[in-house]
């Protein structure tokens, strides 16, 4: 029943804020248009459509606000005015009662709060739509931050998501424009995103992985997770002490080198993307601080690991090659890359794709290189690719959004920051590594266990297969078998040869040593 009320409330909100107008013209069924006009007589539609959408989402509550925030990054799908308005959405949710937070912690640990922590600050330091954070100390005195999920989040989310899925189905079925926005797919992604954010163990694991990856870089501090105190709805981590990155004046007065900080931000991001293929994807200023402690002065402090992006080798290669080709203005190469990767239909004409990419990228070269926004270039590239039916992978969209954040942050700290020259060495090193002997060895090592298992059984499998085959296939397979025998012989001679060579060297060393002594 409550779901029915919620559904009615959502439809009423859609009508009250005139959101039906956004897609109404494309609704194919005339009765829907007539019905909405009758129901919504006398409403005030003077504010711009983006503002109305933002207000509607705010009145629908935190889950819809989160949805708007996530959608604001989909500039490849939404018109600019709407995306800009959605980017203004903020979690303005009051903190929940500390007694409730304490009850959640006590339930998770099965004992009173006084037996869990040495001390616990009732007043939260921060509170957002999904969770809130309290400071505490462990029994040994270690200072920690405790993140607690809002109560009953799962039930509230499931209810709203079910309605969102239903509405997405309606929009997709009834509106021509609606189909283009792929509502069902978008809600599906949002569903996964929300469920990921609801599992604090997952967030803790992301933090631990990132901390390990960033350890030797000495550019960023990531809180250590106190695993013994982590549960799906409670996360306990080292308490960090820094100044929010937004307080630029304070950082400058304290003597922080802003130019270095801006460069470090880019270095961090590109290391995470190209070296590790694992990046923090929620880089808004609220999650970034700077340490002023003497031992770690001027280092970033990174918080909130609910959203991370992972990239495969193929994704990395796509990015590196596209960036390089773009900066050489080699649009033909960019087009070829899209076709080679099989992402655009094989019958796409390279010249057409090249022309579209040129039209999207060339305007950027009107300005100095340091003013070019890689995030914007990537976004335009994705938009162009969509016209050619390329499905852009969600992790690449996440990366493009993060890149925009990093650029914004970097230029805020140092308006002279030349993002490309800071990023270029990463791409060059990475691309060199991809073709170098070390990479080959690494790939061989990675594949070795598979081959070790596969090779001994291969002749038997082939022979079995041959028995059931005839004609051309049979011949091909016999050739394959011969080839395999030849390869085996070659491998054997290599191994024996190598062993012989190594023994020879050893013998020589021994002889030399004996002579020296
Ligand atoms: N380890 C920590 N040490 C010190 N302060 C922390 C720590 N973790 C979180 N905080 C504080 O709590 C705030 C909110 O944390 P976090 O961003 O992780 O929560 P959130 O609920 O995911 O918020 P949002 O979704 O709005 O980013 C941070 O901005 C910071 O002020």
H/E segment holding residue 104 = helix 98-109
Binding residue numbers for ATP: 125-133, 147
* pLDDT score for 516: 39
Q: Name beta bridge partners: 127.
A: 132
Is 240 near ligand 1, meaning CB less than 6 Å away? yes
Q: Which two tokens stand for residue 128?
A: 């957002």
Is 83 near ligand 1, meaning CB less than 6 Å away? no
How far away, in angstroms, is 149 Cα from ligand 1 center?
A: 12
Annotated catalytic residue 282:
yes
Give the distance between the most distant pair of CA atoms in the chain: 105
Residue percentage of the chain with pLDDT more than 90: 27
Q: Catalytic pick from 20, 160, 264, 282?
A: 282
| Range ranked top by mean pLDDT from 36-50, 58-72, 260-274, 478-492 | 260-274
CA–CA separation, 359 and 487 (whole Å): 51
For the residues 396-409, what does the mean pLDDT come to?
A: 85
CB atoms within 10 A of CB 415: 11
* pLDDT score for 124: 95
pLDDT over 80 at 424, yes or no = no
Q: What is the pLDDT of residues 104-115, one digit of tens each?
A: 999 999 999 999
State the closest ligand 1 atom to the C-alpha of 305, by its place in the atom list counted from 1: 18
pLDDT over 70 at 511, yes or no = no
Q: Name beta bridge partners: 236.
A: 146
For the residues 390-412, what does the mean pLDDT come to?
A: 82
State the closest ligand 1 atom to the C-alpha of 131, by its place in the atom list counted from 1: 21
For the residues 377-405, what does the mean pLDDT come to?
A: 79
- The closest alpha carbon to 388, from 435, 426, 347, 330, belongs to 347
Query: Do residues 315 and 393 touch, judged by C-beta distance below 8 A?
Result: yes
Q: Beta strands 300-302 and 220-221: pairing type? A: parallel
How far away, in angstroms, is 505 Cα from ligand 1 center?
A: 59
Mean pLDDT in the chain? Answer: 80
Nearest residue by C-alpha to atom 12 in ligand 1 = 126
* pLDDT score for 514: 46
* pLDDT score for 214: 96
* pLDDT score for 130: 84
How far away, in angstroms, is 195 Cα from ligand 1 center?
A: 18
* pLDDT score for 91: 67
Is 126 near ligand 1, meaning CB less than 6 Å away? yes
- The dihedral over CA atoms of 448, 453, 458, 461, expressed in degrees to the nearest 10, equals -150
* pLDDT score for 176: 63
Is 403 near ligand 1, meaning CB less than 6 Å away? no
Q: Which of 132, 133, 149, 224 for a ligand 1 pocket mutation test, highest count of atoms within 8 Å of Cβ?
A: 133
pTM of the model: 0.74
* pLDDT score for 138: 97
For the residues 411-438, what does the mean pLDDT come to?
A: 77
How far away, in angstroms, is 400 Cα from ligand 1 center?
A: 23
Is 304 near ligand 1, meaning CB less than 6 Å away? yes
How far away, in angstroms, is 373 Cα from ligand 1 center?
A: 28
The dihedral region occupied by 471, where left means phi > 0, alpha psi between -120 and 50, and beta the remainder, is left
Q: What is the pLDDT of residues 137-147, one digit of tens each?
A: 999 999 999 99
* pLDDT score for 95: 85
H/E segment holding residue 319 = helix 313-327
CA–CA separation, 63 and 310 (whole Å): 25
pLDDT over 70 at 207, yes or no = yes
How far away, in angstroms, is 145 Cα from ligand 1 center?
A: 9
Measured over the CA atoms of residue 216, residue 282, residue 418 and residue 414, the dihedral's sign is negative
pLDDT over 60 at 499, yes or no = no
* pLDDT score for 458: 64
Is 128 near ligand 1, meaning CB less than 6 Å away? yes
**CA 182 to each of CA 15, 43, 189, 380, 381: distance values in angstroms, whole numbers, following the listed order:** 21, 29, 11, 19, 19
Q: Name beta bridge partners: 85.
A: none
* pLDDT score for 196: 83
* pLDDT score for 139: 95
Is 291 near ligand 1, meaning CB less than 6 Å away? no
Q: What is the pLDDT of residues 288-336, one digit of tens each?
A: 999 999 999 999 999 999 889 998 887 887 778 887 787 788 888 888 8
Q: What is the pLDDT of residues 212-271, one digit of tens each?
A: 999 989 999 999 999 999 999 999 999 999 999 989 999 999 999 999 999 999 899 989
pLDDT over 70 at 206, yes or no = yes
The ipTM is 0.96
How far away, in angstroms, is 146 Cα from ligand 1 center?
A: 9
Nearest residue by C-alpha to atom 7 in ligand 1 = 145
Q: What is the pLDDT of residues 117-164, one digit of tens each?
A: 999 999 999 988 789 999 999 999 999 999 999 888 888 888 889 888
* pLDDT score for 41: 59
Residue carrying the six token digits 């020879």:
504
Nearest residue by C-alpha to atom 23 in ligand 1 = 128
pLDDT over 90 at 103, yes or no = yes
pLDDT over 50 at 515, yes or no = no
Residue percentage of the chain with pLDDT more than 70: 75
Q: Beta strands 234-238 and 278-280: pairing type? A: unpaired
* pLDDT score for 461: 65
Is 286 near ligand 1, meaning CB less than 6 Å away? yes
Nearest residue by C-alpha to atom 14 in ligand 1 = 126
Residue carrying the six token digits 């959608």:
71
CA–CA separation, 423 and 426 (whole Å): 6
Q: What is the pLDDT of residues 11-28, one digit of tens each?
A: 778 777 777 666 555 555
Q: Which two tokens stand for residue 33?
A: 């248009």
pLDDT over 50 at 517, yes or no = no
18: helix, coil or strand? coil
Q: Which of 73, 239, 303, 307 for a ligand 1 pocket mutation test, highest count of atoms within 8 Å of Cβ?
A: 303
Better pLDDT: 185 or 238 = 238
Nearest residue by C-alpha to atom 25 in ligand 1 = 128
Q: Give the pLDDT band of residue 280 (cuts 50, 70, 90).
A: very high
For the residues 47-66, what does the mean pLDDT come to?
A: 85
Q: What is the pLDDT of residues 435-470, one digit of tens each?
A: 666 666 766 666 666 666 666 666 666 666 666 655
Kindly write down the DSSP assignment for every residue of 350-410, as one continuous string: HHHHHHHHHHHHGGGGGS-GGG--HHHHHHHHHHHHHHTT----HHHHHHHHHHHHHHHHH
């Amino acid at each position: 029943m409550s779901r029915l009320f919620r559904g009615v409330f959502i439809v009423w909100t859609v009508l009250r804020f005139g959101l039906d107008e956004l897609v109404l013209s494309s609704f194919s069924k005339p009765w829907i248009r007539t019905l909405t006009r009758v129901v919504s007589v006398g409403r005030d539609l003077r504010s711009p459509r983006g503002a109305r959408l933002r207000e509607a989402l705010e009145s629908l509550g935190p889950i819809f606000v989160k949805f708007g925030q996530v959608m604001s990054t989909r500039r490849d799908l939404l018109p600019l005015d709407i995306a800009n308005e959605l980017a203004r959405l903020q979690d303005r949710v009051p903190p929940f009662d500390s007694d409730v937070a304490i009850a959640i912690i006590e339930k998770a640990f099965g004992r009173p709060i006084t037996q869990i922590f040495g001390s616990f600050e009732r007043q939260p330091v921060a509170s957002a739509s999904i969770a809130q954070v309290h400071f505490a100390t462990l029994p040994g005195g270690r200072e920690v931050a405790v993140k607690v999920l809002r109560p009953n989040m799962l039930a509230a989310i499931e209810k709203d998501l079910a309605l969102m899925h239903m509405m997405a189905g309606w929009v997709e079925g009834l509106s021509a424009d609606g189909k283009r926005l792929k509502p069902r797919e978008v809600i599906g992604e949002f569903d996964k995103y929300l469920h990921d954010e609801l599992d604090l163990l997952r967030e803790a694991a992301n933090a631990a992985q990132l901390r390990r990856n960033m350890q030797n870089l000495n550019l960023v501090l990531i809180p250590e997770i106190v695993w013994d105190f982590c549960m799906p709805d409670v996360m306990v981590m080292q308490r960090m002490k820094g100044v929010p990155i937004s307080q630029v004046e304070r950082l400058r007065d304290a003597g922080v080198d802003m130019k270095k900080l801006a460069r470090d931000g880019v270095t961090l991001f590109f290391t995470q993307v190209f070296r590790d293929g694992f990046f923090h994807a929620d880089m808004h200023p609220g999650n970034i601080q700077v340490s002023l402690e003497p031992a770690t002065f001027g280092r970033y402090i990174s918080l909130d690991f609910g959203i991370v992006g992972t990239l495969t080798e193929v994704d990395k290669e796509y990015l590196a090659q596209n960036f390089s080709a773009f900066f050489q203005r080699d649009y033909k190469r960019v087009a070829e890359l899209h076709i080679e990767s099989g992402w655009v239909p094989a019958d796409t004409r390279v010249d057409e794709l090249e022309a579209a990419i040129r039209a999207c990228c060339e305007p950027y070269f009107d300005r100095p290189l340091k003013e070019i926004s890689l995030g914007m270039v990537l976004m335009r590239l994705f938009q162009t690719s969509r016209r050619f039916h390329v499905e852009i992978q969600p992790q690449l969209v996440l990366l493009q959004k993060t890149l925009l954040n990093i650029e914004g942050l970097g230029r805020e700290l140092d308006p002279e920051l030349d993002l490309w020259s800071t990023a270029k060495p990463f791409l060059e090193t990475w691309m060199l590594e991809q073709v170098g002997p070390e990479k080959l060895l690494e790939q061989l090592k990675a594949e070795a266990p598979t081959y070790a298992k596969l090779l001994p059984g291969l002749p038997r499998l082939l022979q079995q297969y041959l028995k059931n085959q005839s004609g051309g296939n049979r011949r091909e397979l016999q050739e394959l078998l011969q080839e395999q025998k030849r390869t085996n012989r070659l491998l054997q001679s290599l191994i024996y040869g190598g062993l012989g060579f190594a023994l020879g060297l050893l013998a020589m060393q021994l002889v030399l040593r004996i002579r020296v002594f």
